[in-house]
Amino acid sequence: MASIGTAVASLRTSEQHSKVKSIPLGRAAIIVFFISLLLRALLIGILSLLGLLGSTNPIIATISAPFNLLNGLNFLVAIPAALAIYVWAQRTEEASIFLETMNNLLRNRSAIGGVVLIGILLIAGDFAPAIATHDPILSMIGQPGETGRLPAKPPCIPAFGCTDTLHLMGLDLNARDLFSRLVFGAQTSLRVGIASVMFSIIIGSTLGLISGYAGSWTDNLIMRFMDVLLAFPSLLLAITIVTIKGPGIENALLAIAIVSIPVYARLIRASVLAVKEYEFVTAERALGASAIRIIFAQILPNTLTPLIVQGALGIGGAVLETASLSFLGLGAQPPLPEWGQMLSEGRNYVFTAPHLVFFPGLAIMLTVLGFNLLGDGLRDALDPRLNRN
């Protein structure tokens, strides 16, 4: 606790020295919270990608070991790290623009809505064992205190006059607690959503950078292939890929990532083409900088804005597509709690037990809404053209 105390103290003093407009403490706290959410999300993404590469591979196991450790400590690490970043950004001139953007962002109504929804989701996923009232894969049949017909039992909340055991959202067809499954399901959705977007951003922007920077036939070859991928309705292509590779959450993640690669490739290519013509790039080239240096030091930082916005919106889309694939039986396999799969299990009982369908769908909707709102807010905050109006 002492370290947080000193950090907060230094936060106050640094405000007087910094050259940026001072940020009130309340907003600073929100910014720190937001940065910690970002760090947390990044960690989830890196770990899932490493896991995808092969968790049994000794090299990858060594690389992912420290991340695994951090992941276990989740917010205990993310919050101090975010505080450190905040304090550092306040003291560094170049980084203070980052704080200003954050400040703009968190003045935006839809961005705040998005941050709140995503925050709830991340916390629910991380503290699932503490939040969940029951074991998500344990059937309540034969458990002490359970009475009546258990499968698909409607919600029962003692505070509202129900005399049975507490089940916030009722029980599913196998008499498992729906609320607990929903809370644990947040982990799956976030993991797949973030990791698939990171995957397609990595591949897509590499292709886009090569294509935009190299030009001529390389550009043509890559972009025509991207056109072909875009010509497929994305969900249908994902369905085909998973059908062929076999159902499962990993393959669903890959399929969703593959079908959205062209979006990022096109985006980055367009930015590269625009940035390449600027004089500072020509100057750098005249100074004899290598292509790699120009790409990474000059072009890439200038293409980040559209990428971040698209990435946020993309996570929402990926969560929706994962749910759709799971609904079709191609994504998560039982008993792993996943919202789309839970919905799919309950669909034939919608007329008699609507809670089986209602709650998982609501969770999907709020998650996607959160990322869409954040994406919209980011677009407004990061786009200088809009700020002028």
Partner 1 sequence: MTTFILRRIVLAVPVLLGILLVTFILGRSIPGDPCKAMLGEKATAEVCDAFSERHGLNEPILTQFAIYITNVVRGDLGESFRFGGPVTDLLVERLPVTVELAITALIFAVIVGIPMGIVSAYRYNSKLDLVTMVGANVGVSMPVFWLGLMLAFIFGVLLKDTPFSLPPSGRLSPGVTYAPFYLTWGLASSENAASGLLIFLSRLNILNSILTLNGTQFVDTMRHLLLPAMAVGTIPLSIVARMTRSSVLEVLNQDYVRTARAKGLSEYRVVIRHAVSNALLPVVTIIGLNFGGLIAGAVLTETIFGFAGIGKTLFEGITARDYSLVQGVTLVTAIAFVVINLLVDVLYGYLDPRIRLN
User: Which spans of this chain sit near partner 1 (rule: CB under 8 A)?
Assistant: 110, 224-225, 227-229, 231-237, 239-241, 243-246, 316, 320, 323-324, 327-330, 340, 343, 347, 350-351, 354, 357-358, 360-361, 364-366, 368-369, 372-373, 376
* CB 360, CB 343: distance < 8 Å: yes
The sign of the torsion formed by the CA atoms of 107, 110, 114, 117 equals positive
Name the residue among 210, 232, 188 with its Cα closest to residue 296. Answer: 210
Amino acid at 157: I
Give 127 or 349: the residue with its C-beta nearer to partner 1.
349
CB contact at 8 A, 105 and 378: yes
Beta bridge partners of 171: 177
Nearer to partner 1, 47 or 105 (CB): 105
- Whole-number Cα distances in Å, 66 to 37, 55, 73, 152, 342: 19, 14, 11, 42, 33
Strand, coil or helix: 177: strand
- Per the DSSP assignment, residues forming a β-bridge with 167 are 156
Q: 156: which strand partners?
A: 167
Q: Closest distance between partner 1 and the C-beta of residue 247, in Å?
A: 8
Q: Which of 322, 318, 207 is nearest to 269 (CA)?
A: 207
Between 129 and 354, name the residue whose CB sits nearer to partner 1. Answer: 354
Beta bridge partners of 177: 171
Please report, as a single letter, which amino acid is at residue 340.
Answer: G
Positive or negative, the CA dihedral 170, 172, 176, 177 is negative
* CB closer to partner 1, 98 vs 114: 114
Report the residue number, 64 or 367, with the smaller CB distance to partner 1: 367
Of residues 295 and 364, the one with the C-beta less far from partner 1: 364
Minimum CB–partner distance for residue 249 and partner 1 (Å): 16
The owner of tokens 């390449």 is 276
For the bound state, the minimum distance from the C-beta of residue 2 to partner 1, rounded and expressed in Å, comes to 43
**For partner 1, which is the closer residue by CB, 18 or 110?**
110
Please state the closest distance from residue 32 (CB atom) to partner 1, in A: 27
Helix (H, G, I), strand (E, B) or coil at 173: coil
Rounded to 10 degrees, the C-alpha dihedral 229/233/234/238 comes to -90
Sign of CA dihedral 154, 150, 140, 365: negative
Strand partners, 362: none
CB nearer to partner 1: give 28 or 170.
170
Cβ distance to partner 1 smaller for residue 11 or 368:
368
| Residues whose CB falls within 8 Å of the CB of residue 120, separated by 6 or more in sequence, listed in order | none
